[in-house]
Amino acid sequence: MKKLAMILLIGAGFFMSGCAPKYDYTIHKPKVRYKTPSKQALGKMLPETHGKKYVWAEEGPRSFDCSGLTYYNYGSMNLWLPRRAEEQARMGSKVAVNDLQYGDLIFFDTSGKGRINHVGIYVGNRKFTHASSKSKCVVTTSIDKPFYRQRIVVCKRVIPSVPAAPRREQPTVPSTVVIASATKPAFKPKAEPLRLASNDTETPKKVKLARVSKNNVYNSDRIVTTENSSGSKSLY
């Protein structure tokens, strides 16, 4: 009886393992590495996923499917997309193929059934990075490759554009600046009149004019005025 119970237990284990799901359908949110989504942040993370294994229904960090790759990278920038490619195509704003910028999403109908079933991230130079089921890993491919170019359904821009900083007007500075400065008038000493000492009570004597030449000619430009004790003035 115990032997039979052991056999049944082992058989149940094999049965349960055979019926166990092959894929992990649980959605695992990535750790937020950048609080604000930007092309610069994406440019640092996306190369880290290059060459990682393709596994259907996986969203990293060791393996990805196509929409899992976009879900992981944009979620790491705090930009949360739906998990499936068809739902991701409803996000963002539509852009033309010739207007693609780094980080835009490109959606494809690779099955030819009229529905979106693949997505990639545009990385410039007319190339996109995607988790390819054919290559079995994350690769970079040209959008001009006929298989993909003919199967593009829509392109979307989901990274918000950074508004340009307002331009500050600089004050107009004249080419020549004239600064007025106050100039002080030249100092001119005040002329003092010739005065006699107060204790001089004698009648002033005549003042002889200095000779200015050898021929005993007096200088006619000098006139000396004296005042005697009577108050009358005399010219010499």
**Which CATH number do you get for residue 133?**
3.90.1720.10
Question: Rounded CA gap, 103 and 116, in Å?
Answer: 19
Catalytic-role residue among 19, 50, 118, 155: 118
Q: What is the extent of the structural domain holding 56?
A: 32-157
Residue 209 burial (10 A CB sphere; 0-12, 13-18, 19+): middle
Position 44 in a domain: yes
The DSSP code for 57 is T
Position 170 in a domain: no
Position 117 in a domain: yes
pLDDT at 153: 98
Catalytic-role residue among 19, 28, 130, 155: 130
Position 194 in a domain: no
Position 150 in a domain: yes
pLDDT at 26: 87
Position 138 in a domain: yes
Catalytic-role residue among 19, 28, 50, 66: 66
Position 140 in a domain: yes
Q: Is 28 a catalytic residue?
A: no
Beta bridge partners of 53: 63, 137
Q: Is 66 a catalytic residue?
A: yes
pLDDT at 113: 93
Q: Is 19 a catalytic residue?
A: no
Question: Rounded CA gap, 84 and 172, in Å?
Answer: 56
pLDDT at 190: 60
Split into its structural domains, the chain has a count of 1
Position 199 in a domain: no
pLDDT tens-digit profile, the chain (236 residues): 554 455 445 444 433 444 445 667 788 999 999 999 999 999 999 999 999 999 999 999 999 999 999 999 999 999 999 999 999 999 999 999 999 999 999 999 999 999 999 999 999 999 999 999 999 999 999 999 999 999 999 999 999 986 655 666 665 555 555 454 555 555 565 655 555 444 544 444 554 544 544 444 444 444 444 445 455 444 44
Contact 122, 100 (CB under 8 A): yes
The DSSP code for 13 is H
Q: Which candidate, 141, 94, 108, places its Cα nearest to that of 122?
A: 141
